[in-house]
Every structure is written in C-alpha cells, then in structure tokens.
Amino acid sequence: MTAVTLQEWVRRANSLVPRSDAFIGGAFTPAQSGERFPTSTPRDGTHLADLAACGEADVDRAVRSAHLAFEAGTWSQADPAHRKAVLLRFAELVLSNLEELALLESLDVGKPISDTLSVDVPGAARTLSWYAEAIDKTYDQIAPAPRSAVAMITREPLGVVGAVVPWNYPLLISSWKLAPALASGNSVVLKPAEDSSLSALLLAELGSQAGLPDGVLNVVPGSGPVAGAALGRHHLVAKLAFTGSPAVGRRFLAYAAESNAKQVSLELGGKSPQVVLGDAPNLDAVASSVAWGIYYNAGQTCNAGSLLVTEPGVRDELLHKVVSLTNGFVVGDPLNPATQMGPLASYPQRERVTGYLDLVGSEGGRLLTTRQAHVGPGAYVAPTLVDGVPAASRLAQEEVFGPVLVHLPAKNLDDAIKLANGTRYGLAASVWTRDVSVAHHTARRLRAGTVWVNTFDASDVITPFGGFGESGSGRDKSLHALDAYTALKTTWINLT
Ligand code: NDP
C-alpha cells in the first residue's frame, strides 16, 4: 500500500494534464485531420482528455517514419550494448515516473492504484530492463557446414512492427511487445485501445528521453477499424503483434493476407479453468487463489481463472469459502489505496458483463453471491459466483471479461479434464492436488499455454505466455518472444 492518500491522489488527478497528441517521428503531433476523440474515466465518467484521432494518413506517416529510422540504421544496426544502455535508461525513466504512470492507468481503466503502483508500472519497467539485459547476451550460431565453408545463422530484425493492444493492461501488454521488438533492433508503431491511450503516450516520450532515435517508437491513438486497420494493411509493416478479442485477431490475419503476407502473432484471451481435485491441500489457500484468480483486475485479464471445476470431495467446503471471500472483496474507488477491485474499464464493458449476468436464469443457473447494486457512478460490477449452468452454456463457454466465476461440478478426474478442456480457448489452467504424479499427468492433459500446479497466475517475464486453440498463436515474454521479432538469416561463405 502506498503512503499517498486518497485525497492526495484525487488532488493530483484533478490537476493532471495528460499528453493527448500522437507521437510520430520523435514529436507530439495532432492528427492531420485535426479530429479528436474524448476519453473519460470509468471511475465516475469524468472527461480526461481529447485525443488525436489518427486516421490512415497519420498511420502512414508513423509507419514511414519508423521505416526511415529502420533504414537509417541508427537503432537497427546499433551495437547490442548501445541498445541495452538505452533500454535500461528507458526502464529507469518508467520507474522514476511511477506515480504519474500509475495514476494515468488507474484513471484511464479503473485499476486500483495499489495494483498500478505495484504491478503494472514496475512490470513494464522490468520487461524493458529484462530484454535490455538479454540482448547483449544473445548469441548467433555457426552451422556444421563442410570444412570448405563457414555457414552462419544470424537473427535479423524484421523492420517496422505494428503493435495493437487492448485496454485491460495497457502499459504492461505494450511493454511485452515493445521491449523484445526494440531490443532486437526493430522500429515500432503502437496503437493503443481508444479507452486506454494515456500511459502509452507518456511511455513514448520517456523512450525518446532515454535515447531512442526519432521514429523508432511511435504511438498513434485512434479507433481500431480506422487506425488499427490502416496499420494492419500497411505494406511497410513487417510484423503485427496483437492482443485482444478473437474476432479482431482474425481481422489481423486477413489484413496480412490482403497486404504483404506480414507475420502476425495473436494473443486472444481465454476461459481458463481452475481445477480443484478431491485431495487438494489447504482449502483456505485454494479459495483465496481461486477468488483472486478471477477477481483481480475485475476479471479483465486474458488468463482470468473464470471457470472453477471441482471434484466432489472438496466441493461444498470450497464453494462456501469462495463465496465468503467474494462477498468480502473491497470494491470501490480505484484511487483509494485500500481498494481491491475497481470499476470495469469502461461503461460499455460493464453493459457487456451485466448482459452475461442477465443470462444466469435463462441458462439454468443461480448466483451464489449477492448481486449488489453499482457502487456510485463508476462502471462497477460486483464480484459474482455462478453455479448450475451447463458446460455448454454461453456463461461457461464465452470470455465474459468481468468479475464472474462460473462453477462446473466434475464427477471425477477424467470429467474434470474434459470440462477444463471443453472450450475453444487454451490460454491457461490450474490444478490443485497433493499427489505429485496426478499433478504431472493432469498438467500434461490440460490443453493450455500455461498450467499452474497448486497456484494460479504465478508469472514473470522469464516464461513464455500465449495459447493453444483460439487463444491465439505466438508467445509474449521470455527469450522465445525474440523469435517473434527476428528472422533467421543464413550466410554461407565459401573458403576455397
Ligand atoms: P478488441 O479486440 O476489439 O480490441 C483490441 C484492440 O484492437 C484495440 O486496440 C482496438 O482498438 C483494436 N481493434 C478493434 N477493432 C479493430 C479492427 N477492426 N481492426 C484493427 N484493430 C481493431 O477488444 P474489445 O475492446 O472490443 O473487447 C471485447 C472483448 O474482447 C472483451 O470483452 C474480451 O472478451 C476480449 N478481450 C480480450 C483481451 C485479451 O487480453 N486477450 C483484451 C481485450 C479484450 P479500439 O479499442 O481503439 O477500437
């Protein structure tokens, strides 16, 4: 918890003047059309800024600026030690602007200030510094060619990377794309979500202060169907890195197909099961992990543990504990350091989530928790546990992206795995058991990019993150993410 009080955060919020122009070629600039769009806070609907509404011409300018910078080689051909030094400075600047970035993020998307201070901003800084530290320790290869030749396999940056990111972790997910892309020598054009562009604009300014050459990092606020599509279709973009919904992810594959067959990596969310087997140890710890696994960030997390699958042996006691924790969650003002769960990121997202809650009765379910009225004028939804809906129901199959946990009872282990694997997604899963052999076998059978055993959401930049099935393709984080931003080049040298 921070020493800054609610009153002080509110005072700072009232005097905040966010950056509102696009960042292109190393400078802030309005959209060529002069158009702007308003952005407000889900905390109470207050207006925050009027942002440059970038259109096709602005995206084209940003991509050309990024391409020019790439061709100039001041970044793409710079020594790894130089890129490391600049990115380490970038990470330091993120940390030295911790409170402003955290406040921008909390206002923009309603995250509790204690989370943005302790997770989002430090997480973005750590991602930048981790790839900075990695890039001067990454070796290329010599192939076992005949003695009459030397065959080198080197990693080359791709060129201009178009990154399109969502509103649930604006700064953190941006850093997962920017850090490996920049460390590898690429230039980047970042399109943040309309609902969450504020931290990205400050981030671009900090990158420039750290020493990124002009044009290497550009930010183009604007709508998905206009700015996002223009980036997706641009012929000078070599790679698209996207996180968001499956429907828009598929659009990015189409953009690539319709333009220059650029590379695409997609992270498209999930319906992640938390499987609690009958021998699970310490149900207090399990219940706490299950509750935080879904309610953290108001359930707006790609890998939110939104399905609870239980075996009979633990079911009643566990549900009782989860209900009691759910009803005790501190929901409130994101600027209050004591808040555990803020509002949803926007009012339309609240409508989407309450639309799912309206389905509970018609899908044969019931609420185990109290469906409270909204807390104040913000975009709030109370944390909610739903029981009794069939596994094939929309509530059990679709990504609600809100604080809604759906319980599915399993007859036995095989049934639990069938329920856990029974959606079109495959991003993450957990299993709770005290039997190490069952843990290993179950982890192998769960179809997910990450499987946690006796924990949930333990993660760091050191391990890859991404999914199977409709959760997407490609991986963010870890050294493996460098594969997504580089191409292998073979240089065969004749020695005779
Ligand atoms: P979207 O997939 O629509 O948005 C993600 C990003 O894509 C945003 O920057 C958005 O821009 C952009 N975008 C939207 N449409 C297009 C398009 N036609 N062409 C190019 N870019 C586009 O997510 P939503 O905000 O609509 O959320 C809907 C649902 O998606 C959520 O309820 C959740 O289920 C899922 N989702 C999953 C996320 C994850 O982490 N995997 C993150 C966010 C959402 P803009 O918003 O500015 O229009």
Answer for the pair 230, 56: CB distance below 8 angstroms, yes or no: yes
- Mutate which of 108, 190, 248 for ligand 1 pocket (most atoms within 8 A of beta carbon): 248
Residue from 39, 108, 245 whose mutation best tests the ligand 1 pocket (most atoms within 8 A of CB):
245
Choose the catalytic residue: 54, 105, 194, 302. Answer: 302
- 411 CA to middle of ligand 1, Å? 36
Average model confidence (pLDDT) for the chain?
97
Going by C-alpha positions, the residue among 391, 455, 431 that lies closest to residue 311 is 431
Q: What percentage of the chain reaches a pLDDT higher than 70?
A: 99
CA of 244 to the centre of ligand 1 (A): 4
Better-predicted residue by pLDDT, 1 or 203: 203
Q: Which residue, among 392, 460, 407, has the nearest Cα to 287 in the 3D structure? A: 407
**Which secondary structure element, helix H or strand E, spans residue 472, and what is its range?**
strand 472-473
Closest atom of ligand 1 to CA, residue 352? 32
Say which residues have a Cβ less than 8 Å from residue 279's Cβ, sequence separation at least 6. 313, 433, 434, 435, 438
Compute the distance between CA of residue 65 and CA of residue 324 in angstroms, rounded to an integer.
55
Mention every residue, 6+ apart, whose C-beta is less than 8 A from residue 251: 229, 232
Contact 182, 194 (CB under 8 A): no
List, for residues 190-234, the tens digit of each pLDDT value.
Answer: 999 999 999 999 999 999 999 999 999 999 999 999 999 999 999
First-residue to last-residue Cα distance in the chain:
68
Q: Tell me what the mean pLDDT of segment 57-68 comes to.
A: 98
C-beta of 166 in contact with ligand 1 (< 6 A): yes
Q: How many CB atoms lie within 10 A of CB 192?
A: 28
User: What tokens does 289 get?
Assistant: 């992990």
Region for residue 104 given its phi and psi (left: phi exceeds 0; alpha: psi -120 to 50; beta: otherwise): alpha
User: In a 3-state reduction of DSSP, which class is residue 282?
Assistant: coil
Which of 201-215, 287-301, 327-341, 359-373 is the least confident region? 359-373
Q: Is 168 in the pocket of ligand 1 (CB under 6 A)?
A: yes
Sort strands 450-453 and 472-473 into parallel, antiparallel or unpaired: unpaired
Kindly report, residue by residue over 20-52, the tens digit of the pLDDT. 999 999 999 999 999 999 999 999 999 999 999
Q: Is the CB–ligand 1 distance for residue 243 below 6 Å?
A: yes
DSSP 33-68: T--EEEEE-TTT--EEEEEE---HHHHHHHHHHHHH
According to DSSP, the β-strands at 160-164 and 237-243 are parallel
Measured distance CA(234)–CA(217) in Å, rounded: 17
pLDDT band at 107 (very low <50, low <70, confident <90, very high): very high
Measured in Å, residue 144 CA sits from the centre of ligand 1 at: 46
Is pLDDT above 70 for 68? yes
Amino acid 90: pLDDT: 99
pLDDT digit string, tens, across residues 72-92: 999 999 999 999 999 999 999
In this model, does residue 263 exceed pLDDT 70?
yes
Length of the chain: 496
Catalytic residue flag (residue 302): yes
